[in-house]
């Protein structure tokens, strides 16, 4: 469906026709749409589990239709977006974007011009930002590339500890929507930008990007209860609070920045010799082979570590011996290897006669 103006059609008539389209209930094929007017919650499940919920044009078209359909339902206050199977979504469908799909997706297909696609997806994702409903992303498995764009535009995030969020295509062909600076501290945002690395759900929670980090077995129940709690508030009040909060970021320039990045940075990156070469390889190589070419150099000894590794330093233990405790309580490691050293006797106010001078003392071992 496209909103082409008919001959002699007024703007008001077009708006009425568009609203009528979105009021229709459709038979979705790539999402599952459920509503509960008693709890005021709608659930949208991305439903291509065999493709890791890769977002085809058809899936995106159905998603936006369901969102706008829900927008017109005054009995629904909250929308949960989640993924079927083993992940939220691995990103855009790179295998042709579903050329054999129905015409419902045609309004999302035009990618002519170097920057057209990037600008278009940014503008489309901002439809979620502008919705009157509260939108929660429930993330498990992966939310990569376009999937991370979708997650970043949702109002609230609930993650599993080991899910991965990021934009690996930055390593080869650029980024459509540079959301990092608006969701993460500056230096972490820059780190992801210049490495293409992912962050875990636990890291996203610790850095303030996610609202909650919940174990996989409990996340459905928790997110549902969280949505129902939000749904208790009068929808008109909730809408105004959402818009007032978002307006603060719009005043700071989020829409201008993301739209400008889509036009300028994407163009400059995608037109570089390296990006052109990688784009050519992407068109010619099997997808798995191409992804290995792109990502293998970033793996530790070309092997992905099967665990999270933290290396930390604690100082000023003499003021309360709290540094190590703080680290343990923050990271909650399964295993810790601790190395203790003697104090720095060059520190002002230390009495070297009483406390020694840069010499660690080990008492002799006694006993059997």
273-284 vs 287-295: helix axis angle to the nearest 10?
150
Q: Are residues 113 and 164 in the same domain?
A: yes
> Same structural domain for residues 117 and 234?
yes
CATH number at residue 261: 3.90.226.10
Q: Is the pLDDT of residue 113 over 60?
A: no
What pLDDT score was predicted for residue 337? 77
Q: Which pLDDT does position 118 carry in this prediction? A: 76
198-247: pLDDT as tens digits: 999 999 999 999 999 999 999 999 999 999 999 999 989 999 999 999 99
CB hemisphere CA count around 208 (13 angstroms): 9
Kindly state whether residues 328 and 192 are assigned to the same domain. no
The answer to whether residues 253 and 363 belong to one domain is no
pLDDT band at 182 (very low <50, low <70, confident <90, very high): very high
pLDDT above 50: residue 340? yes
Say yes or no to pLDDT of 63 above 60.
yes
Q: Which has more pLDDT, 191 or 116?
A: 191
Q: Which of 245, 271, 297 is the last residue before a domain boundary?
A: 271
Pair (27, 162) in one structural domain: yes
pLDDT score at 231:
95
Domain count, the chain: 2
Alpha-carbon distances of 104 from 108, 150, 233, 269, 300, rounded to whole Å: 9, 20, 34, 31, 43
List of residues 6+ apart from 160 with CB closer than 8 A: 139, 140, 141, 201, 213, 214, 215, 216, 219
Same domain, 260 and 314: no
User: Going by C-beta distance under 8 Å and a sequence separation of 6 or more, which residues neighbour residue 164?
Assistant: 141, 142, 143, 144, 198, 199, 200, 201
Query: Residue 351: pLDDT above 60?
Result: yes
DSSP 315: -
Which residues are CB-contacts of 190 (< 8 A; sequence separation ≥ 6)?
180
* pLDDT exceeds cutoff 60 at 362: no
User: Which phi and psi angles does 38 have, rounded to 5°?
Assistant: -70, -40
Strands 164-166, 78-83: pairing is unpaired
Q: Alpha carbon 162 to chain centroid distance? A: 13
pLDDT of residue 180: 93
Mean pLDDT along residues 58-62: 91
User: What Å distances lie between residue 159 and 87, 122, 147, 204, 260, CA to CA?
Assistant: 11, 23, 13, 8, 29
Same domain? 364 vs 252: no
Integer Cα distance of 227 and 241 in angstroms: 16
Q: Could you tell me if residue 291 is inside a domain?
A: no
| 278 falls within a domain | no
62-71, 87-96, 177-186: least confidently modelled range = 87-96
Please indicate, yes or no, whether residues 252 and 366 belong to a single structural domain of this protein.
no
Whether the per-residue pLDDT at 64 is higher than 70: the answer is yes
Alpha carbons 290 and 273: distance in angstroms, whole number: 17
The CA distance from 49 to 86, in Å, is 7
Instruction: Tell whether 282 is covered by a domain.
Output: no
Structural domain contains residue 22:
yes
Over range 114-121, report the average pLDDT: 69
Contact in structure between 138 and 158 (CB atoms under 8 Å): yes
Question: Residue 97 contacts by C-beta under 8 Å, 6 or more apart in sequence?
Answer: 56, 57, 109
In terms of pLDDT, which residue wins out, 37 or 328? 37
| Model confidence band, residue 164 (pLDDT cutoffs 50, 70, 90) | very high
* SS3 at position 197: coil
Asked whether residue 263 falls in the same domain as residue 359, the answer is: no
Q: When comparing pLDDT for 353 and 137, which is higher? A: 137
End-of-domain residue from the set 271, 297, 323: 271
Q: Is the pLDDT of residue 196 over 60?
A: yes
Residue 52 pLDDT > 50, yes or no?
Answer: yes
- Average pLDDT value for residue range 64-74: 92
Range of the domain at 321: 310-368
Mean pLDDT score across all residues of the chain = 82
Residue 341 pLDDT exceeds 80: no
In a domain, 167, yes or no: yes
Q: Are residues 339 and 219 in the same domain?
A: no
pLDDT tens profile 278-309: 888 988 898 889 888 998 888 876 566 677 77
Domain final residue pick, 271, 297, 332:
271
**Position with higher pLDDT, 60 vs 266:** 60
More confident residue, 265 or 317: 265
Band (pLDDT 50/70/90 cuts) for residue 134 is: very high
Query: Which of 212, 189, 187, 188 lies closest to 201, judged by CA?
Result: 212
Q: Is residue 288 part of a domain?
A: no
Q: Are residues 120 and 225 located together in one domain of the fold?
A: yes
**How much is the pLDDT for 22?**
61
Question: 115 and 263: one domain?
Answer: yes
For the segment 103-112, what is each residue's pLDDT rounded down to a tens digit? 344 444 444 4
266 versus 224: the higher-pLDDT residue is 224
pLDDT at residue 324 is higher than 60: yes
Identify the pLDDT of residue 186: 95
């Amino acid at each position: 469906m496209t909103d082409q103006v008919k001959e002699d059609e007024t703007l008001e008539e077009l708006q009425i026709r568009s609203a009528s389209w979105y009021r229709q209930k459709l038979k979705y094929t790539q999402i599952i749409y459920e509503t509960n007017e008693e709890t005021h919650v709608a659930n949208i499940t991305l439903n291509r589990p065999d493709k890791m919920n890769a977002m085809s044009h058809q899936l995106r078209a159905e998603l936006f239709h369901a969102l706008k359909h829900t927008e017109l339902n005054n009995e629904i206050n909250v929308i949960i977006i989640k993924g079927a199977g083993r992940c939220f979504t691995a990103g855009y469908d790179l295998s042709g974007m579903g050329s054999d799909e129905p015409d419902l997706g045609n309004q999302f297909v035009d990618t002519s011009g170097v920057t057209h696609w990037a600008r278009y997806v940014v503008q489309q994702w901002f439809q979620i930002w502008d919705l009157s409903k509260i939108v929660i992303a429930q993330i498990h498995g992966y939310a990569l590339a376009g999937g991370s764009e979708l997650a970043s535009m949702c109002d609230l995030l609930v993650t599993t500890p080991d899910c991965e969020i990021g934009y690996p295509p930055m390593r080869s062909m650029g980024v459509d929507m540079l959301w990092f600076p608006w969701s993460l501290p500056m230096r972490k945002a820059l780190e992801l930008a210049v490495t293409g690395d992912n962050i875990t759900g636990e890291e996203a929670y610790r850095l303030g990007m996610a609202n909650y980090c919940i174990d996989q077995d409990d996340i459905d129940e928790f997110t549902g209860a969280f949505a129902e709690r939000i749904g208790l508030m009068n929808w008109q009040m909730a809408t105004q609070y959402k818009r007032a909060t978002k307006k603060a970021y719009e005043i700071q320039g989020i829409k201008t920045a993301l739209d400008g990045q889509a036009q300028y940075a994407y163009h400059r990156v995608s037109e570089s010799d390296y990006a052109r070469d990688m784009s050519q390889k992407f068109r010619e190589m099997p997808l798995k082979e191409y992804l290995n070419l792109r990502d293998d150099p970033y793996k530790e000894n070309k092997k992905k570590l099967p665990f999270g590794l933290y290396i930390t330093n604690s100082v000023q233990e003499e003021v309360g011996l709290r540094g190590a405790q703080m680290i343990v309580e923050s990271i909650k490691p399964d295993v810790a290897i601790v190395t203790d050293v003697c104090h720095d006797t060059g520190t002002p106010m230390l009495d070297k006669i009483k406390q020694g001078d840069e010499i660690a003392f080990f008492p002799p071992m006694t006993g059997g």
